[in-house]
Amino acid sequence: MEYMIAPLTPHTGAEVRGLDLNEGVDTETRAALNRAFAEHHVLVIRGQHFTPPQFIAAAQVFGELFQHDKREMHVPGYPQVYYVSNEQTVPGKRYISGETFHTDHSNHPAPPKATMLFPVSLPSYGGDTQYVNMHEAYDDLPAATKERINGLRAVHVYLSKYSPRELRPLSEDSARQVPPPGVHPLVRTHPENGRKALYLNPVRIESIIGMEDEAALGLVAELMEYATQEKYEYRHQWRYGDFVIWDNRSVIHKANPDYDMNERRYLYRLMLKGETPA
Ligand SMILES: [Fe+2]
């Protein structure tokens, strides 16, 4: 099968064309895709046509499925496949998940290495997903800041009391299965590409070990402001057929609620198992 991989920005994102994942991939292609994933952090594999089981099979080219926390929310008939939808509500209002920059499920001791989306229904404009590159942001930090944060560890809970936004409450059954908080370094090293990255998540970081809360929040805010500069960004404009996989160890991401909410935005979502950040 002839296919090509081309960068989308100099630092983040690559698109793959000419590959039909439903036909299966050979060992060589699988290795090439996984190398491209570690190098580019976001892969956009164009022109796919997935049913939920085909989406699961495509995801497994990159690893093993990771169970999402909100077990009650899945595609009917497919308990492994989660979805994002603009038709969700919290009591009294519409709820758009992922509206501020974050990394997925960092409250776990071994958070998911990757998340994947596949669009089923898209608004006619808007609803982009933004990614910023946490390797580039770390590399560019002043030496004194690197020294200050190397070795610091943050406590990530399901929902921080300092979170800039609400999460929908978990069912009792799902809540029981949420693991104890993850305690993760602010600077982690990617096990495949060897690069250091900031590991930040204002939605879930409740404290930094050995720091007063106020100082910890100030530090997280300062690093987030630095990391979310436009020069570190790849902004994905969704097209039908895009199978997008991103590396939660390399990028943080956010959704944009900037479209007509009378239009439906609905995507299948899966995650892959990761390692304990180090
Ligand atoms: Fe997310």
What is the CATH number for 36? 3.60.130.10
pLDDT of 220-240, one tens digit each?
999 999 999 999 999 999 999
169 within domain boundaries: yes
Average pLDDT on 110-139 reads: 97
31 within domain boundaries: yes
76 within domain boundaries: yes
Closest CA to 62 of 83, 47, 41: 41
β-strand partners of 104: none
**Dihedral over Cα of 66, 234, 23, 51: its sign:** positive
- Cα(27) to ligand 1 centroid in Å equals 30
- In this prediction, residue 204 carries a pLDDT of 96
Question: Can you give the residue range of the structural domain that contains 53?
Answer: 4-272
119 within domain boundaries: yes
Domains contained in the chain, number: 1
- Cα(49) to ligand 1 centroid in Å equals 23
278 within domain boundaries: no
- Cα(63) to ligand 1 centroid in Å equals 18
- Cα(227) to ligand 1 centroid in Å equals 17
277 within domain boundaries: no
pLDDT of 149-165, one tens digit each?
999 999 999 999 999 98
Cα separation, 69 vs 144, in Å, equals 37
Residue 1: pLDDT band (50, 70, 90) is low
149 within domain boundaries: yes
- In this prediction, residue 168 carries a pLDDT of 81
109 within domain boundaries: yes
Average pLDDT on 250-268 reads: 95
pTM of the model: 0.96
- Cα(256) to ligand 1 centroid in Å equals 12
- Cα(97) to ligand 1 centroid in Å equals 7
List Cα–Cα distances, 99 to 92, 114, 121, 126, in angstroms.
Answer: 18, 18, 18, 13
- Cα(254) to ligand 1 centroid in Å equals 7
- In this prediction, residue 92 carries a pLDDT of 62
Residue 91: pLDDT band (50, 70, 90) is low
Dihedral pair phi/psi, residue 245, rounded to 5° = -125, 130
